Structures are given as C-alpha cells and as structure tokens.
Amino acid sequence: MINFKNIKKEFPILKTKVNGKDLVYLDNAATTQKPKSVINKITEVYENYNANVHRGIYSLSEKSTEMYENTRENIVKFINAKSIKEIVFTRNCTESINLVANSWAKNLCMPGDEIIVSILEHHSNLVPWQEVSKVKGAKLIYVPLLKSGELDMDFFINSFSDRTKLVCVTGMSNVLGIKTDLKRIIKSAHQNNVKVLVDAAQLAGHSIIDVQDLDADFLAFSSHKMLGPTGVGVLYAKEEILEEMYPYIFGGDMIRSVDKENSVYADLPTRFEAGTPNFADIIAFDEALKFLNDIGLENIEKYERNLFLYAKSKLEKMKNLELYIPENHEICGGIISFNVLGVHAHDVASILDQEGICIRAGMLCAQPLVKDFLKENAVARISFYLYNDEEDVEKLVTGLEKVTRIFE
Amino acid sequence: MDLYQENILDHYKNPRNYGDLKNVSKSVKESNPLCGDEIKMDFLLENGIVKDVKFSGNGCAISQASASMLTDEIKGKKVVEVLKMGKEDVLDLLGIDLSPARLKCALLSLYAVKRGVGGERNS
Ligand SMILES: Cc1ncc(COP(=O)(O)O)c(C=O)c1O
C-alpha cells in the first residue's frame, strides 16, 4: 500500500499560504505542482553540467546529452513505445499537435478531405485542425457526446468516408473528466485505414498509457501536467509515420550536413527538434517520471478515482450546485465541473481564492463543449492529483458554503 | 480587502438601469467570450448629453455590478465628460482594487460606454 499522506510532503509549494490560508490546489488539469526531486534536478543541471546538448565534444556536454537522451529512453518505457526514434521533444502538448498538423496533415489533406474530432476536445486539439481545414479546404466532423458521457460511437463509425484522413481525440476530457474508449476508437479508425492522434494531456501521469496496446499513431502530452517542468512536450508517433513526415522548423541540430544550397536532414527523432532544446527541463522531467513510476500509475488512478467519488458524494449533498457529471461516471477520472446556481463561475473562483483554494473557471479552453453541449457561459472546475486528499474536498465544501452565503 | 463588498453585491442583485431602451441612438454589445461575460447597452444621446442608458447582460458580479454603477454614473452627463472616463473611475465606483484577470470583467462596461457615446475602445 502506498501511503498517499506522505506524498504531500514532497511538494514544497503545498506548504505555502495563499491569502493567509493553507494552499488547497485543485487546478491540476491546468498544471500540476512539482516535487522537490524535480525542482532540485533543475538546479543540479545548471550548477553541475549545463552545456548544450549534441554539440560539445567536452565531457560537460557529453554528460548533459546523456541525461537528455536518458529522459527520452524513459519516456519510451513510460508509454511503451518501440524506440527512441518515436519520441520527439516539443514545448508542450499543443506544439506536439501542431507538429502533426504542419508536418503530416497539411501535406496529406486535399480539398474535400475530412478530419474527425470529438466535441470533448480542448482548443489545442481543435484549432490546429480548423487551420488545416482552412488552408487545405478540408472539413471537420464533430463526434457528439451521449448523455451517458460516452462518445456517440455509432455516429463515429458511420462518419468515415473515403475522404477521412485523420481522427483527433482526447484520451480524457479536461472539462468532464471523461475517458474515451481509445482502443475501440483506434480500432475502428484503422479498419477504415485512418490514422488517430490521441491528445493525452490529461491522461498522461494519471493512467497507464501503452501506445503499442492502443496502436495509437500519434500521441501528445505535456510534462507540466504530470509533475514535470513547464516548457516540455512530447510527441509520440510511429516510426514509419515520422519517417514520412517533413519537418516544419528548420535550423541547427535537425541537420546532418549543410552546404550552400542544400541540407541533409538528421535521423529520427532530431529531424524534428531544430534549435537548442529545453534540455535542463527535459532532464528534470525524468525525475517526474521516476516519481510517478515509484508510486505506480495504477495506484494513482485508483486514488484519484476514490477522491472523485468522495467529492461527488459531498458535492451532491449541496442543494445549490449543478454538477456536470455524466450518467456513467465510471469512465471519469479526477475532474468535476460544476456551477453554483445563480453565481458566475468567476465569482466562485474569486471567493474560493480568498480561502486559499485554487480552482479553474470559465470556458476551460473547450468553448464548443461548454457552450454548445453544456449550454453554459462558464463553469467552475476542480481537478485532482495524487497530493490532494479528502481534507481538500472538505475545505472546498466549506468554501462553497461561503459562496452561497455571500450571494444569498 | 474583500472583493464582494456590500455595494457590489447590491448592484449585482438589484441592477440599476436594467433592460432595453425604446428610443435608442446607439446600441452596443461587448463580451469576454472566454470568461462568459456579456453586456448590451442602449444609449439615448441628445445635445451632447447622455439622456438615458440601459444595460442588460450576463456574467460575473464584477462585470454586472460595474455596468450597473457605470450607467448610473453617466446618466445625464456630457458626452465629452464620459469620453474622459478611464479605468480609475470604474475602480473608484467599485471601491476595490482588482487583479489584472478581474479587471477585464470590470472594464467591459467601460468599453461599451465608450463605444456607445462615440469613442473608440481603449483602456
Ligand atoms: C485535454 C488537453 N489537451 C491539450 C492541452 C494543452 O496542453 P498545453 O497547454 O500544455 O499545450 C490541455 C491543457 O490545458 C488539455 O487539458
């Protein structure tokens, strides 16, 4: 048994006070806090072996290069990829998705082609595809959500045509916490010879990801949402697909040789990593992977699920809340969106902030979902991670009671 | 200081000048789509004076209370005076300091007012 109580101690920020109150951090879907080991690693890099990677012949550079590549190797294991050639470092999940849009989709899509997305998508997995559609004259098809919380799989399966080029789907909704049936989605897409991009921003670090078992073609995520530093994203893509892709950022590091007119581009994956990478943070990202692996993703998933159930039961007891929890909440991870009746979500967030409680409010970067599906102008959202506990939920409930009192 | 002062809550719960104008010189809409704040303001301008103004909208207490206070403030005022109003005037009306994120909510109605009386949107 993992003792989750001790985990909180590893996160220095959780000891700080906000507006004179103990910090209760419930905005993990936006970004997560960092354990000491990650923070210390960043300092360690800068104090001990800061040197540009893949460039110096001297030992300092060799050391940083080795550490940098070590993170890549551990990401291979973390998502069960086949090789380091399939792991490209980017700045964030959004950039990973844009890399696929620019280097793969734009070269492939023709006027009249179709890209399937789901209504659950975060703007990061929508706007790039709108852009591809605009430039290439392709069309976006939205898979709707059933009341149960599942994507409408009949609609999905029937939406394939010989013009379908790509399916882009989130592994977990950042608004409703819904985990999509990725295996089934990918299987039916492949039966139609269509490739699938998985936005794993909310899934990574919360559930086990096995890209081979899923048979995902592309999978994108951000380090900062899984205990790691900001400024680090990952794109996984099958080697044979990456091999076909043409880079869209050019310059140093991504080349093998350069003469006056022409250049030969580097092997995978560095072909897609032009310029000096954020190596210090990438090296520190490895500490986040280690932290998660030590606890075990299965344990984390179970822990968050229990916290979800606890919060659900507490919030359901409050009379003036509208909870956006799907009928089949079994498929939800540790995210709950809600509104306090008669109070705008921003006011809820501001009052909770005075109590030291951080929650998200607004469109949550998912305007089509919030506006067209939930039919709301704004929602409030709590999202858990492994350092949250029942006490946090109780403080939230007390905070929400204060909201109600103020607006009575 | 507490954001949710009595006067703000009062204006939020009992907004002044709420609704539509029958006689309209100009009607403007402003919104912060990502926050979900929306304001519509109707203006009746006569001889360089804001003869009447009404607003309707949807959004957080800060955005709606500032619209209520601001419409109260500008009613009967000269347009040239209204055009001179700025961020500080809105904060004075609210009687609080706001973080940059919440300032956007408060200034929405100022933008509407500026456009409504003929000026351009600027803060
Ligand atoms: C589902 C989902 N996809 C993509 C992103 C984008 O992540 P990032 O901002 O790190 O690129 C987020 C984060 O907000 C998200 O929740």
N-term to C-term CA, chain A:
44
Q: Which helix (H) or strand (E) holds A3?
A: none
User: What is the pLDDT averaged over residues B96-123?
Assistant: 83
Residue B119 banded pLDDT, cuts 50, 70, 90:
low
User: Is residue A408 pLDDT above 90, yes or no?
Assistant: no
pLDDT reported for residue B1: 60
Q: Most distant CA pair in chain A: distance in Å? A: 73
User: Is residue A358 pLDDT above 80, yes or no?
Assistant: yes
Name the pTM for this structure.
Answer: 0.94
Q: Which atom of ligand 1 is nearest to the CA of A170?
A: 1
Residue A52 φ/ψ, nearest 5 degrees: -65, 145
User: What is the pLDDT averaged over residues A324-348?
Assistant: 96
- Count CB-CB contacts under 10 A for residue B122: 8
> Any catalytic annotation for residue A168?
no
Residue A51 banded pLDDT, cuts 50, 70, 90:
very high
Residue A16 φ/ψ, nearest 5 degrees: -80, 165
Domain B3-116: state its class.
alpha beta
User: Is residue A191 pLDDT above 70, yes or no?
Assistant: yes
Distance in Å, CA B119 to ligand 1 centroid:
38
Residues 6+ apart with CB under 8 A from A272: A88, A99, A103, A235, A242, A245, A247, A249, A254
* Domain boundaries, given as residue ranges, for chain B: 3-116
| pLDDT tens digits, A230-283 | 999 999 999 999 999 999 999 988 989 999 999 999 999 999 999 999 999 999
- Count CB-CB contacts under 10 A for residue A62: 14
| pLDDT tens digits, A148-165 | 999 999 999 999 999 999
pLDDT reported for residue A1: 63
Ligand 1 near A404 CB (within 6 A) = no
Residues 6+ apart with CB under 8 A from A88: A96, A99, A234, A235, A236, A237, A242, A269, A272, A273
pLDDT reported for residue B122: 42
Q: Nearest CB to B105: which of A346, A367, A377?
A: A346
Distance in Å, CA A270 to ligand 1 centroid:
24
pLDDT reported for residue A148: 92
pLDDT reported for residue B121: 46
User: Is residue A302 pLDDT above 50, yes or no?
Assistant: yes
Q: Cα–Cα–Cα angle for A101, A106, A109, nearest 5°?
A: 115
A363: nearest CA partner in chain B = B34
Residue A168: name the closest of A145, A144, A140 by CA: A140
User: What is the pLDDT averaged over residues A82-86?
Assistant: 98
pLDDT reported for residue B99: 86
* Domain boundaries, given as residue ranges, for chain A: 4-30+296-407, 40-293
Chain B interface includes A350 (CB < 8 A): yes
Distance, in Å, from the CA atom of A223 to the CA atom of A204, rounded to the nearest integer, reads: 9
What are the start-end ranges of the H helices in A105-199?
Answer: 106-108, 127-136, 153-158, 182-191
Report the complex ipTM: 0.86
Summary mean pLDDT of chain B? 90
Domain A40-293: state its class.
alpha beta
pLDDT reported for residue B73: 96
Residue type present at position B55: F
Distance, in Å, from the CA atom of B61 to the CA atom of B98, rounded to the nearest integer, reads: 13
Tokens coding A246: 């043409």
B36: nearest CA partner in chain A = A377
**Which residue shows structure tokens 């892709």?**
A245
pLDDT reported for residue B123: 38
Architecture of domain A4-30+296-407: Alpha-Beta Complex (3.90)
Residue A402: name the closest of A358, A340, A360 by CA: A340
pLDDT reported for residue B114: 93
N-term to C-term CA, chain B:
24
Residue A3 banded pLDDT, cuts 50, 70, 90:
confident
